[in-house]
Amino acid sequence: MHHMSHIFHLVEQKYEYSLRKDTTRATHVPYFKAIQHFISQLEEHIRANNTEALETELSDILRDYCNLLHTLEKEWYINQKKNIFDKCLEKYEERVSGHRDESIDRTETKTLQSSRLFHKQVLSDNTQ
């Protein structure tokens, strides 16, 4: 995880630079568009068996995803980047443990997770 903390350190530096020099890059919009663009190119690189280009595109997606999370946090669309990783870990652990315990169907797990999310949203809406 050392790489991720270093990437987020660079993201913070880039964000500060963008605030001073290029405010269009200090919002989530260009990162969202860039991610969509890079994702659209992945299949072509896979079909061509172009490992170098595929790895480059994937690294660009990761970089811009980190920038996207950072700008969404700065724009108050999300509370903390950490929450995204926590939620990912929680959902993924539950799904993988469901796969290990073959008595729990993947669809069941996803349905339970969706239901939990719905209830959290309702509670959140009621407290606002």
pTM of the model: 0.78
d(CA 92, CA 86): 10
Ordered by where they begin, the domains of the chain are: 1-78 (1.10.287), 80-128 (no CATH)
pLDDT tier at 95, thresholds 50, 70, 90: confident
pLDDT-above-90 percentage for the chain? 62
Mean pLDDT of 69-77: 95
d(CA 127, CA 7): 36
Q: Is the pLDDT of residue 24 over 90?
A: no
b/e map 32-70, b = 16+ CB within 10 Å:
bebbeebeeeeeebeeeeeeeebeebeebbebbbbbbbb
d(CA 94, CA 4): 23
CB atoms < 10 A from the CB of 80, how many? 10
Give the type of residue at 78: I
Residue 98: CB partners within 8 Å, gap ≥ 6?
104, 105, 106, 108, 109
pLDDT in tens, 29-68: 999 999 999 999 999 999 999 999 999 999 999 999 999 9
